[in-house]
Structure 1
Amino acid sequence: MEKKLKIAFFGSSLVSAYWNGAATYYRGIIKEISRLGHDVTFYEPDAYERQQHRDIPNPEWATVVVYENNEESAFWALSQAESADVVIKASGVGVFDELLEEQVLKRRKENQLVIFWDVDAPATLERMDQNPDDPFWPLVPQYDMILTYGGGDPVVNAYTANGAKLCVPIYNALDPETHFQVAPDDRFSCDLAFLGNRLPDREARVEEFFLKAAKQSPEQSFEIGGSGWGDKHMPSNVEYIGHVYTNDHNAFNCTPKAVLNISRDSMAKMGFSPATRVFEAAGAGACIITDYWLGIDFFFEPGKEILVAQNGDEVADILKNLSQEDAKAIGQAAKKRVLALHTYANRAKEVQKLFAAHFQEINAGEI
């Protein structure tokens, strides 16, 4: 007999993608976990103006609890979550991360499954390696399991070496009900578009793969969306369009001849960490050009379902030789691949199997 689990999830935000690249990942995973019969409450702080820039209302498939950005409210949220069967602390909440990571363990109840879900494992591991006194070091072995946004064997091996009982990558994927092909929108008409917030460990790669390619391709048009790029010097053929709300992502992906994926430094170095937007763009039938990272062929077939560049020069060359017909064929091949193998429904089943194995092991019932 299946057991319905009560799940408490501490993350950055479920309802806002503003300065919150993990939003669609959370939404896709949690919606499908809910469809498997489980009850999810998502706890998020009122921080970084995310509540003023909501993309979605509170969803039917999860209860959203927004707590104030202070320590007292964080402790209140922790007390509300104590009765859950499963307590999940995600990385990068943005405020009181160390407190939450410690307290979900200190407050653990008998037979309660406590998980750390790392949505930026390469960066977390790099931070820990650089600081032997990092407060997360002694906590790693105390979690029942570490789930990650990606990273493959390099991340699994690193977490295991740091004492993790179990580490499993739960990769980004597609929610076909949210990201799909739509009619082109003139606002996003260009040859190459890139969407991503301006972050310290991404900016140099954006300069190399996007701005350098634009400078070398004066006859081509480029668009960049995301927060923080307003004062960045760019070539004249690049248009900055600001924050792109999630309800415009489909049109943003469908309209340009191609869209560019640029990994953050740490994810590119670790590999096996495709960004959420890769699957979203593929679901919309976009022709994706990506920077190179180890493990691309685990998700897509280079040359047929995705185009791969080692640097900005190669991005410019690809774009110069890419016809509209070829771009459409590559986009449709990518769409077919993700619908078959890389949806959040697939990922949620993987998560449920992990839950089931844990509770069976402690004889607390079966899912």
Structure 2
Amino acid sequence: MSLDIVIIGLSLSSSWGNGHATTYRALLRGLAEEGHRTLFLERDVPWYADNRDLPEPDFCRLALYHAVADLTGPWAERIRAADAVIIGSYVPEGREVIDAVAALRPRHLAFYDIDTPVTMSLLDEGQEEFLAARQVPLFDLYFSFSGGEVLDHLERVRGARAARALYCSVDPERYLPVPGAPEWDLGYLGTFSPDRQPTLEALLIEPARRMPDRRFVVAGPSYPAEIDWPANVARIEHLPPSDHAAFYSRQRFTLNVTRAAMRRMGWSPSVRLFEAAACATPVISDDWRGLGELLPDGEAICIAHGTEEVVEILGTMGEKARRAIGLAARRRVLAQHTGRARARELAAALRDLRAAAA
């Protein structure tokens, strides 16, 4: 049965400085392929308005709103009529958005937390700009970017009615191997984050210093000017999603770096991890609980705990072994972590809600 879904999320139109856009794009394309109808409501903010790389998606309806009052005014009836309304994490004025939408009494209300461990840390610190602790029990379903023990924490400690893992996913038609010789030995794609920077230093910048004959690259905005980049580390300020597959394919290895809160909770694969794997680019990653369940170490990923391990991988792994790791990761991701697979999981959870209500 086809579903009519409204999603209020951080961004679909712009991938500038966020990983939400590509996550939503893969999921919403998958929903369209499964025959569902989706309206995505995005707050019109200047930093995304100047950097929209998908202003008119062909797989859903995208509409911009200017204030929380728009949701209870022009969009109120559409929200009430939908089979389900999903509010995403990091939505501007998220706490106010949740209260306003909940007051409209939609048929089913869900939350999609693409930043679950970070959200939990913010709540621990009393920071409730995007979600208040009192609001967690308001949702019929709490979809979490993180799985494993995090789901029990959400229900037992935070009071979620029902928590379900909804990992990020990848669009296999847009993330696939691109022919060509590798240009860099190791690369990284990600916006600057203070808590990721020490890991980036240890697993890419220091290896670059120790291997001056090798080439490295870091793509992403907001890195401070005072960072001392080695001469053999190329910098790309912003890379639109249309260039991601070619970027990954030009690396012998790509680096996955996880935010500190996500490492602590575990079971938090980033969208970049799935995207790189779909391109058959071997991934070197920091370690966290649950990673080996998704991509086994030494078979479909290389887990590194420090600079020396990265230097050893780059310096000693043969081409046959390198390719085998990349292809094994690609097979696993295409089997379990595409946007369409994730859309089926989402739709099944929403149908269960409808059945229970009926």
TM-score range, shorter chain: over 0.9
CA distance in 2, matches of 1:210, 1:75: 47
Look up the match of 2:132: 136
In the superposition, relative to structure 1, how do residues 40 and 133 fare at CA in structure 2: closer, same or farther (>3 Å)?
A: closer
1:207-218 correspondence to structure 2 within 5 Å = 207-218=201-212
CA distance in 1, matches of 2:14, 2:35: 24
Residue of structure 1 aligned with 2:220, choices 223, 226, 248? 226
CA distance in 1, matches of 2:12, 2:347: 20
CA distance in 1, matches of 2:250, 2:231: 20
Matched, 1:323 2:323: no
SS at match of 1:248: helix
| Preserved contact between residue 229 and residue 240 of structure 1 (Cα < 8 Å) | no
Per-residue CA distance 1:305-356 (angstroms, 9 max, x = gap): 1111012232222112123332222111211221222222221111111111
TM superposition score normalised by structure 1: 0.91
- The AA in structure 1 aligned to 2:93 is F
> Which segments of 5 or more consecutive residues in structure 1 lack a partner in the other structure?
none
| Preserved contact between residue 71 and residue 100 of structure 2 (Cα < 8 Å) | no
Cα offset for 1:357?
0.8
Instruction: Count the aligned residue pairs.
Output: 354
Look up the match of 1:356: 351
| Preserved contact between residue 269 and residue 293 of structure 1 (Cα < 8 Å) | yes
Look up the match of 1:13: 11
Residue of structure 1 aligned with 2:145, choices 125, 145, 149? 149
- Note the aligned Cα RMSD (angstroms): 1.9
Q: Which range moved further: 245-254 or 205-214? A: 205-214
Cα offset for 1:22?
1.4
Look up the match of 1:283: 278
Per-residue CA distance 1:103-149 (angstroms, 9 max, x = gap): 2212114xx01001100000111111222988611111111010011
Look up the match of 1:50: 48
CA distance in 2, matches of 1:126, 1:158: 12
| Preserved contact between residue 7 and residue 87 of structure 2 (Cα < 8 Å) | yes
SS at match of 1:82: helix
Per-residue CA distance 1:255-296 (angstroms, 9 max, x = gap): 111111111111111111111111111111101111111111
Cα offset for 1:170?
0.8
Per-residue CA distance 1:182-224 (angstroms, 9 max, x = gap): 1237xx7111010000123322222222212222222211100
| Preserved contact between residue 287 and residue 327 of structure 1 (Cα < 8 Å) | yes
Look up the match of 1:38: 36
In the superposition, relative to structure 1, how do residues 39 and 132 fare at CA in structure 2: closer, same or farther (>3 Å)?
A: closer
- The AA in structure 1 aligned to 2:153 is A
- The AA in structure 2 aligned to 1:331 is G
| Preserved contact between residue 212 and residue 232 of structure 2 (Cα < 8 Å) | yes
CA distance in 2, matches of 1:77, 1:285: 45
Look up the match of 2:189: 195
Residue of structure 2 aligned with 1:246, choices 227, 233, 241? 241
SS at match of 1:50: helix
CA distance in 2, matches of 1:71, 1:353: 30
TM superposition score normalised by structure 2: 0.93
CA distance in 2, matches of 1:140, 1:71: 19
Cα offset for 1:71?
4.5
> Which segments of 5 or more consecutive residues in structure 2 lack a partner in the other structure?
none
Residue of structure 2 aligned with 1:158, choices 132, 141, 153? 153
Look up the match of 1:61: 59
- The AA in structure 1 aligned to 2:105 is R
| Preserved contact between residue 267 and residue 273 of structure 1 (Cα < 8 Å) | yes
Matched, 1:182 2:178: yes
In the superposition, relative to structure 1, how do residues 132 and 324 fare at CA in structure 2: closer, same or farther (>3 Å)?
A: closer
